[in-house]
Structure 1
């Protein structure tokens, strides 16, 4: 009796496209020295990898700021480059590695002016 419910859970887990995508991203972006976004500690140097979901230009305090949402299958972090209107190669769907310190502002995890590498 326990086997059908376990089988059903396994099949539903594999059939859910969102979970499958998240699982694939976690596998793709894991690596030595790379931290999952959900496990990234605040105010400590981290190295994160993921896919940019959105990229927008949003002024902050009168200064142009390029904002991007980075997703790795475990969570998201908002990456912000102050003083930039655009960066060549930075766009939705792009795989990227960033290095910096994650902070939280008004409940949103953010990473300001990180070093980055296009993957």
Structure 2
């Protein structure tokens, strides 16, 4: 896809591979300054507009969540903005998404306005996978857990 590097080996916060994340998604750091792209990542935070302002919902997306010790350097981020929306169904902090749309640079920040999106994994799905993997590992090692 345009000779740019694609996402490879994207994992959840626990190092589990995330199904569907590498399907023609570009890493945020390799997104061109302008153009239509397919990318995705972990929703780090969401931002709502004030009650008196025009409706706008924004989400900050990074390639992967911070590990247990945090980060030493800030990761590349992309801001995704939906105009005319107070909430976007399924978009919340801690979910994995794929977004498709036109990107531009706004005040030095890669920004995508009103994209099409797909939820790849919700918070509860990620927690269920972690719990299941922990139970399987403890069973194989002979240690019982709750």
Q: Which runs of 5 or more residues in structure 2 are unaligned?
A: 1-10, 65-74, 121-146
Q: Which residue of 2 aligns with 1:12?
A: none
Q: Which residue of 1 aligns with 2:62?
A: 71
Equivalent residue in structure 2 for 1:58, among 43, 49, 71: 49
Structure 1 residues 30 and 88 mapped into 2: Cα distance closer, same or farther (>3 Å)? closer
More strand by share: 1
Q: Which residue of 1 aligns with 2:97?
A: 96
Runs of 4+ residues over 6 Å off in structure 1:
none
Q: Which runs of 5 or more residues in structure 1 are unaligned?
A: 1-19
TM-score (norm 2): 0.58
Q: How many residues align?
A: 97
Q: CA RMSD in A?
A: 2.5
Matched-pair contact (CA < 8 Å) for 1:53–1:68: yes
Q: Which residue of 1 aligns with 2:40?
A: 49
Structure 1 residues 96 and 21 mapped into 2: Cα distance closer, same or farther (>3 Å)? closer
TM-score (norm 1): 0.70
Q: Which residue of 1 aligns with 2:24?
A: 33
Give the Cα–Cα distance (whole angstroms) in 2 for the partners of residues 86 and 30 of structure 1.
Answer: 24
